[in-house]
Amino acid sequence: MKTVLITGATGGIGQALAKTFSKNGFNVVMNYNNNYEKAKELLKEVNGIIIKADVSSEKEVEEMFAIAREKYGKIDVLINNSAIQSIGMLCDQDANDWQKVIDVDLTGAYNTVKCALYDMMYQGGKIINISSIWGQCGASCEVAYSTAKAGLIGFTKALAKEYPNINTNCICPGVIDTEMNGHLSIDLKEELEKEIPMNRFGTPEEVAELALFLAQKGDYILGQVIAINGGMYM
């Protein structure tokens, strides 16, 4: 049985990833940082373990991988899904808030991949980085988030060239119906829907199914940036 490690597993997309991979026969290592209660509830529906770790901490990530390897032997699939936002105009951006977004959303992927390479460098594997439509085209009032997600796209492409035996790819969701977008007003949601040719937000399950395809059948897919956004950005 193969093992997948999912960072940010308690978020909307993270939960869908954990449930989808579990239903399809994977052991699931679910990373969380603050939401222990959600992680504990998720564990009732998923075949796996939960591990607390701040992905921006190299030490905590190393400890997380050590626990996962002790339980399952090796990591076959790594999904970098952890992300935070900092909403507001750049002129009002606090330097600490900026750095935290970069540390979690981008450096977090660096930390996990460094550990995953221990298993995958010679045996192969799958790395799936969850970026964003805003990493492709940018978002007003989300400069830090857009910057980190754009960096994740470049990280994916360079990593794929450096380790072509590891299927490293990037998924760029559009507007997905999750708690992360819960701050949006009803009026703004309606305006966003009008900008989407399919006239609706995506679901976490749709993102999870795409990730599952890459993990199970994407053996000849390498270094790609795959958009799932209802046509909002082409």
Q: Could you list the active site residues?
A: 145
Residue 10: phi, psi to the nearest 5?
A: -90, -5
Token representation of residue 154: 């470049």
In sequence order, which ranges of 73-142 are alpha helices (DSSP H)?
Answer: 95-102, 108-123, 133-137
What's the CA gap between 211 and 167, in Å, rounded? 12
Token representation of residue 65: 């991988």
CA angle, residues 40, 131, 122, in degrees to nearest 5: 80
Residue 25 DSSP SS3: coil
Residue 124: phi, psi to the nearest 5?
A: 80, 175
Token representation of residue 23: 């239903």
